[in-house]
Amino acid sequence: MDPQRWGLPEAAGPLPDGARGLVELAFGVSTTASGPLGLPPAPALPPALVDALRGLLGEEHVLEADDVRRLRAGGKSTPDLLRARAGDATDAPDLVVRPADHDDVQAVLDLAVAHRCAVVPFGGGTGVVGGVAGGRTARVAGLTGALSLDLVRLDALLALDEVSMTATLGAGLRGPAAEALLAERGLVLGHYPQSFEHASIGGFAATRSSGQSSAGYGRFDAMVVGLRAATPRGEWRLGVAPASAAGPDLRQVLLGSEGAFGVVTEVTVRVRRAPVASRFAGWRLPDFGAASAAVRELAQSGLLPTVLRVSDEVETAVNLADPAAVGGSGGEGGCLVVAGVEGSARHVEGRSADVAEVLARHGGADLGEAAGEAWRAGRFAGPYLRDALLDVGVLVETLETATFWSGVDGLKEAVTSALTGALGDGTLVLCHVSHVYETGCSLYFTVAAPQGGDPAARWARAKAAACDAIVSAGGTITHHHAVGRDHRPWLRHEIGDVGVGVLRALKAELDPAGVLNPGVLVP
């Protein structure tokens, strides 16, 4: 990955002609330049630590080259990309280390504790909340430096129980590789977040990720049945049965822990037989209220498809990634709903009919499979478009939240008003629902505005205003992006003083030296 851009260079491209016309009309077009990436001073880690790491892992797996360190200087949020484009890589780690297995990870942690060096776990580097860089934080905290713990070599299918339908996966496996290994046995995990092509199994667990097929397969944390982690206090294994009443479920301490309490090295997940049929269709509903009511009925009546997504009126009309994804009917108003069903042929036929009946009853017009397939074909491409928009002077970023059904309209209005108020005239705020539950849903916002003189500062003000609005409206500060450093100031409002105390106690017990991903999660 290029630290200034998302994903693979060969998959990137300039702004599509159709989108460029919209951009020129709404924002005008300029060009932005990227500067050379500056780095912090040369690594000054204790020589004894560096020697011990080389002896443990081998010279080839202890990396200090500038280009390798630059790639670990941030994640892939717009602020991360803006810093990289401005030449700021001062949050880069001092070394990148690549352990081969759990025992190597444990040994690296032991060395880090002995030398008071920060350890920042690194999976795919796709985080968007400030959770995958720690060089600057480590130096401010008085630690001797920062190691980026790259888990890329922990990439095996370690165990498969086809009787219980569980698989144990190495934390460094990327999404496509994990699915490919399972597909060899006719199995599927079914976790497809937008970061799927680059993110890792360990990252999914550590951030409580939620994929685009969550309506059918569930959130990633619901897939997890067991975990193995390395901590400064030693190895921790959790999950001996599908369910247990043996006290609180301590797997939840590691799920969503963002590397602050331990390094997840192995994840045992439930798997399913690969679907043999699918049908993805697009529907146009009259407005967001009608679409929300329809998907709420689907959730509460047990008729959810595998994929269920609602684009509000603005997202349906603008559709920055591909206007063809709304079925070529973007000028007719209303909201696009994508409903995808996977499974056996009988299930696909029956569930598709059930979904169609509900959507039609709420005023939906069937756009056919072309609209659904267009969405499926481009569902991982959005971040590439963000880079193209940044190139022509448009500030683009996303944020997400969730709430109960009764609070959806108020939360959506509050966040939209906060963003437009902070960014001013010419701001576009798009919203979609991609995760639906019996009791509520997620709201995922995409924001586009002129970059202005200091786009990073503009976005910081807008994000703070949106987070304040989320808290005031009773939403969660994050549904699936995690807390990181960016959301940490608002976490206390959600979990209360007692909750903060619990997190601090966990940190003190599991990481008494404070070396694990300092500055992340814990208020």
Q: Is the pLDDT of residue 96 over 60?
A: yes
Burial class (CB in 10 A: 0-12, 13-18, 19+), 414: buried
Same domain? 368 vs 388 = no
Query: Of the ranges 68-77, 138-147, 175-184, 493-502, which one carries the lowest mean pLDDT score?
Result: 138-147
Question: Residue holding tokens 């630059």?
Answer: 70
Provide φ and ψ at 326, rounded to 5°: -95, 20
Looking at residue 5, the DSSP 8-state letter turns out to be S
Does residue 373 lie in a domain region? yes
Do 287 and 313 meet the contact criterion of CB atoms below 8 Å apart?
A: yes
Helix (H) or strand (E) holding 511: none
Number of domains present in the structure of the chain: 3
Q: How far is CA 69 from CA 127, 356, 485, in A?
A: 17, 51, 20
Task: Give burial (CB, 10 Å; 0-12/13-18/19+) of 65.
Answer: exposed
Last residue of a domain, one of 330, 358, 377: 377
Residue 142 confidence (pLDDT):
86
Q: Show the tokens assigned to 378.
A: 């481009």
Shared domain check, 146 and 60: yes
CA–CA–CA angle 483, 435, 267 (5° rounding): 60
Segments in 277-391 forming alpha helices (H)? 288-300, 313-318, 345-361, 369-377, 382-391
* Average pLDDT over every residue of 45-73: 94
Do 310 and 348 belong together in one domain?
yes
Residue identified by tokens 């037989």 is 273
b/e string for 439-464 if b means 16 or more Cβ within 10 A?
ebbbbbbbbbbbbeeebbebbeebbe
The last residue of one of the domains, among 105, 129, 150, is 150
> Model confidence at 80, in pLDDT bands (50, 70, 90)?
very high
Sheet containing strand 263-270, strands side by side: 157-161, 166-170, 263-270, 224-231, 234-238
Q: Are both 415 and 464 inside the same structural domain? A: yes
Rounded to whole angstroms, the Cα distance separating 309 from 338 reads: 5
- Chain-centroid distance of CA 386 in Å reads 15
Label residue 408 exposed, middle or buried (CB < 10 Å: 0-12, 13-18, 19+): buried
Q: In this structure, are residues 486 and 463 in contact, taking their beta carbons and an 8 Å threshold?
A: yes
Same domain assignment for residues 31 and 139: yes
pLDDT digits (tens, 9 = 90+) for 363-383: 999 999 999 999 999 888 888
CA 211 to chain centre: 9
- CATH number of residue 426's parent domain: 3.30.300.330
Place of tokens 């977040």: 193
Does residue 88 lie in a domain region? yes
Domain limits for position 343: 277-377
Structural domain contains residue 160: no
Q: Residue 326 has what pLDDT?
A: 45
* One domain, residues 324 and 404: no
Overall average pLDDT of the 468-485 stretch: 98
- Do 122 and 41 reside in the same domain of the chain? yes
Identify the CA nearest to 188 among candidates 276, 267, 271: 271
Contact residues for 18 (Cβ-Cβ < 8 A; gap 6+): 322, 323
Residue 397 located in a structural domain: yes
Q: Record the pTM.
A: 0.94
Helix/strand/coil (H/E/C) assignment for every residue in 478-492 = CCCCCCCCCCHHHHH
Q: What is the pLDDT of residues 395-451, one digit of tens each?
A: 999 999 999 999 999 999 999 999 999 999 889 999 999 999 999 999 999 999 999
CB neighbour burial string for 278-301, b if at least 16 within 10 angstroms, e if fewer: bbbbbbbbeebebbbbbbbebbee
Give the relative orientation of helices 288-300 and 345-361 as an angle to the nearest 10 degrees.
140
Residue 44, pLDDT score: 78
Same-domain check for residues 409 and 476? yes
Element containing residue 285 per DSSP (H, E): strand 277-285
pLDDT of residue 193: 95
pLDDT at 152 > cutoff 90: yes
Longest dimension (CA), the chain: 70
> Do 448 and 340 fall within a single domain?
no
Distance, in Å, from the CA atom of 309 to the CA atom of 368, rounded to the nearest integer, reads 15
Q: Which two tokens stand for residue 368?
A: 């056919």
421, part of any domain: yes
Ranges of beta strands (E only) in 47-131 are: 62-63, 95-97, 118-122
Mean of the pLDDT values across residues 497-515? 98
Residue range 309-330: average pLDDT?
68
Q: Give me the CATH number covering residue 44.
A: 3.30.43.10
Q: Is residue 314 part of a domain?
A: yes
**Residue whose tokens read 């030449």:** 87
* Within a domain: 170: no
| pLDDT confidence of residue 320 | 39
Residue 112, domain member (yes or no): yes
CA distance 354 to 344: 15
Last residue of a domain, one of 132, 150, 168: 150
CA distance 135 to 192: 30
Distance between CA atoms of residues 267 and 445, nearest Å: 30
Residues 29 and 117 in one domain: yes
Residue 367: per-residue pLDDT: 95
Residue 402 to residue 255: CA distance in whole angstroms = 18
CA 66 vs CA 6, 85, 151, 347, 426: distances in Å: 19, 16, 19, 53, 39
